Amino acid sequence: MDKHKRKSEKRIVMHVDMDHFFTAIEEREHPEYKGQPVVVGADPKDGKGRGVVSTCNYEARRFGIKSGMPISKAWKRCRTAVFLPVNYKLYGKVASEIMSVLRRFADESEQFGIDEAFLDVSSRAGDFEAAGRLAQQIKKVIFDKEKLTCSIGIAPNKLVAKIASDFEKPDGLTLVEDKDVESFLSRLPVSKLWGIGKKTERRLNEMGIKTIGDLAAYDMSILAEKFGALGAHFSQMAQGIDRSPVQAGWEAKSMSRDVTFEEDTSDQKLVLETLDGLCEELCKEVRESNLFFRTITVKIRYKNFETHTHSKTLPFLTNRLMDLQKAVRELAQSFLQPERKIRLVGAKVSRFVSGEKQKTLICS
């Protein structure tokens, strides 16, 4: 009992995140690109290209290029960059090799995105010093095996570990022990916290809350008044409190595909058929990963860049194309307006469970 209690009080969680993942793999495969700005994403077509940047290396980031930016804008910022198409198959293969290495180093592991994972190393490491040594070892094994660097954050929970892994990127290692959580978080902007996006950040800034320290010190009852149940959650996060477990079986947080049309379109048939195609690609990826999903999201970006998403959670887990296409078409119908031209459509699946876990769910 005592032992249990100690263990749950003193958690040591690592967050491992690969550095500029897609472009790092491209540089590894093509050493001649090293040192040059490299961008992976849609075809820039001399500034006329549609679609977005998936990622870029740190040399390209110096020109202000970043993930999600229109590829035409990236091209204007650095015309001499090496622009490459996305090679999902290769990146997926490298990611699964890295994940299998990481699993060996953890009591529990949880893949959280294509290039990131949480590792619970509480009993493996015992204390932060040993966890630091373990992290160095992980970095070395990944580099020796894959010739890729990663950044690691070590903290008492997932929330702080994830912020820590981003703190000294690239090739970083940041340890935040229990006693340092408050001072580590206090000067960082509130946008570093999970779920605080641009809109919420603006609202908080208007209330005079800029840093996580400001948020931690803010009157909880006012936060609850302004943000409802989320208010208390924000306050907890700001104090560095997060009890969510590192949970094996819940693999990548989501898988998505999107397409930017060559020309903005109001052709509803084309939009729906394009979504059908995206569903096929997604389903293939989900099945190859031995996963099942429940939540489906459709994204539509209109000509003026106004972007809407609609989601639906099914009452069952599935990986059937039919279920996905039906849900996606239903969700898309609510966006389609004959007079509005569409620039981009996307489909995403989330709330995964792995095939292994699905079996236990069915049996139990």
Site residues (CB under 5 A) for Mg ion?
17-18, 21, 115
Residue 54 binding partner per list Mg ion, ligand TTP, none, with a CB distance cut-off of 5 to 8 Å that depends on partner kind: ligand TTP
Q: Of the candidates 16, 18, 42, 190, which one interacts with ligand TTP according to CB under 6 A?
A: 18
Binders in 125-154 for ligand TTP, by CB under 6 A: none
Q: Which is nearer to ligand TTP, 52 or 125 (CB)?
A: 52
Candidate segments 6-14, 15-23, 72-80, 173-181, binder of ligand TTP by CB under 6 A: 15-23
Candidate segments 108-116, 180-188, 309-317, 351-359, binder of ligand TTP by CB under 6 A: 108-116
| Region for residue 47 given its phi and psi (left: phi exceeds 0; alpha: psi -120 to 50; beta: otherwise) | left
Using the rule CB under 6 A, is 83 a contact of ligand TTP? no
Note if 116 is an active site residue: yes
Q: Of the candidates 11, 15, 20, 139, which one interacts with ligand TTP according to CB under 6 A?
A: 20
Q: Is the torsion defined by CA of 168, 169, 175, 176 positive or negative? A: positive
- Cα-Cα-Cα-Cα dihedral of 85, 256, 247, 236, to 10°? 100
Q: How far is CA 49 from the centre of its chain?
A: 25
Q: How far apart are CA 192 and CA 208, in angstroms?
A: 17
Tokens describing residue 232: 């208390």
Q: How far apart are CA 279 and CA 106, in angstroms?
A: 34
Strands 13-18 and 150-155: antiparallel
Catalytic residue, candidates 26, 27, 108, 116:
116
Residue 233 binding partner per list Mg ion, ligand TTP, none, with a CB distance cut-off of 5 to 8 Å that depends on partner kind: none
Q: Of the candidates 13, 21, 94, 234, which one interacts with ligand TTP according to CB under 6 A?
A: 21
Q: How far apart are CA 116 and CA 340, in angstroms?
A: 38
Binders in 160-179 for ligand TTP, by CB under 6 A: 169-170
Q: Of the candidates 28, 36, 63, 67, which one interacts with ligand TTP according to CB under 6 A?
A: 67
Q: Which is nearer to ligand TTP, 125 or 152 (CB)?
A: 152
Phi–psi pair at 36, nearest 5 degrees = -100, 155
Q: How far apart are CA 188 and CA 206, in angstroms?
A: 17
Token look-up 């009080």 returns 9
Enumerate the active-site residues. 116
